[in-house]
């Protein structure tokens, strides 16, 4: 079928032309968009860039997105392989390790939640070393205590004893023992004790009436105090409290 359209004077569309155009677009299956003086057919919609970013990354895929993923996993200390742009078993294992450390569903697939957590984890990280103080030092000492590398109390001060404990941890993880907490060391410290392990410990401490806080998988000050109290009562190490050996 051939459609002929009459010439349209500037600024208006004759009724005959409008009917012809409407008939043509209807037969062709194209929706209409109208304005006061113009009738046009909608173009076929193309996926936006944001639509493509919603795709999942999983085993078997390859490309620049996978390459970027591998680089980020390296930054957080979860991936030690080469950046190839191929999502193989080693990359999947790294994704699972990262998901486990973040308390996310462990499926080895990079969806929006995993990607958001990975982006947050790879934002600017300020390394710290001997002489530092504060909350990060406290959490580091608590983790080193639970892992059996630190003997003594949590002081919130990064002293030489803490440095030696940190270097022992770094050696145990195959990290250069420089005594500095960089992004890789910090992530390895977090991965060494999973959120699920902390939650289990918190539940046990609740049952023993040492802990009254939330079972949130976070090594808070209240969790720290509960562990210390349990140690004093049972005469065991912090690692024993973590493992439930008391």
Residues 171-200 have a mean pLDDT of 90
Contact 162, 150 (CB under 8 A): yes
Cα distance between residue 228 and residue 142, in whole Å:
10
Residue 110 lies in a domain: no
Percent of the chain with pLDDT over 90: 56
Strand ranges, E, within the chain: 32-34, 39-41
Q: Are residues 178 and 199 in the same domain?
A: no
Answer yes or no: do 28 and 71 share one domain.
no
210 with 187, same domain?
no
Cβ proximity of 201 and 246 under 8 Å: no
Q: Is residue 213 part of a domain?
A: yes
Contact between residue 79 and residue 90 where contact means Cβ atoms under 8 Å apart: yes
95 & 143 share domain: no
Report yes or no on 112 lying in a domain: no
The answer on pLDDT for 177 being more than 90 is yes
Whether residues 151 and 185 share a domain: the answer is yes
In a domain, 47, yes or no: no
In terms of residue numbers, what domain contains 199?
A: 195-243
Q: Please, which pLDDT band fits residue 132 given cuts at 50, 70 and 90?
A: very high
Q: Of 168, 192, 216, which residue sits at a domain end? A: 192
In the chain, the number of structural domains is 4
The pLDDT tens digits of the residues spanning 53-87 come to 457 999 999 999 999 999 998 877 788 788 999 99
The reply to whether 91 falls in a domain is yes
pLDDT(143) > 90: yes
Which tokens sit at 73? 């996993």
Does residue 9 lie in a domain region?
yes
**Which pLDDT score, from 0 to 100, does residue 38 have?**
43
Q: Is the pLDDT of residue 166 over 90?
A: yes
Instruction: Assess contact for 59 and 43: CB atoms under 8 A.
Output: no
CATH number, domain containing residue 90: 1.10.101.10
Q: Flag whether 53 is in a domain.
A: no
> Is residue 43 in some structural domain?
no
The whole-model pTM stands at: 0.57
């Amino acid at each position: 079928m051939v459609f002929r359209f009459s010439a349209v004077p500037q600024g208006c569309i004759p009724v005959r032309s409008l009917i012809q155009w409407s008939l043509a677009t209807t037969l062709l299956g194209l929706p209409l968009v109208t304005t006061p003086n113009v009738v046009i057919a909608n173009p076929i919609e193309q996926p936006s860039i944001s639509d493509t970013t919603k795709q999942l990354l999983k085993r078997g895929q390859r490309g620049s997105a996978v390459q970027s993923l591998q680089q980020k996993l390296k930054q957080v200390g979860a991936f030690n392989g080469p950046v190839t742009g191929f999502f193989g078993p080693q990359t999947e294992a790294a994704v699972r390790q990262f998901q486990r450390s973040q308390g996310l569903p462990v499926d080895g697939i990079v969806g929006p939640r995993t990607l958001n957590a990975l982006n947050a984890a790879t934002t600017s990280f300020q390394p710290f070393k001997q002489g530092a103080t504060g909350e990060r030092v406290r959490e580091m000492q608590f983790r080193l205590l639970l892992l059996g590398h630190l003997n003594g109390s949590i002081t919130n001060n990064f002293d030489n004893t803490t440095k030696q404990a940190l270097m022992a941890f770094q050696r145990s993880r195959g990290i250069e023992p420089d005594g500095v907490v960089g992004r890789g060391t910090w992530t390895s410290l977090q991965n060494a004790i999973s959120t699920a392990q902390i939650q289990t410990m918190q539940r046990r401490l609740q049952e023993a009436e040492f802990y009254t806080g939330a079972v949130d998988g976070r090594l808070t000050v209240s969790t720290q105090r509960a562990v210390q109290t349990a140690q004093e009562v049972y005469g065991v190490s912090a690692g024993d409290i973590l493992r439930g050996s008391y």
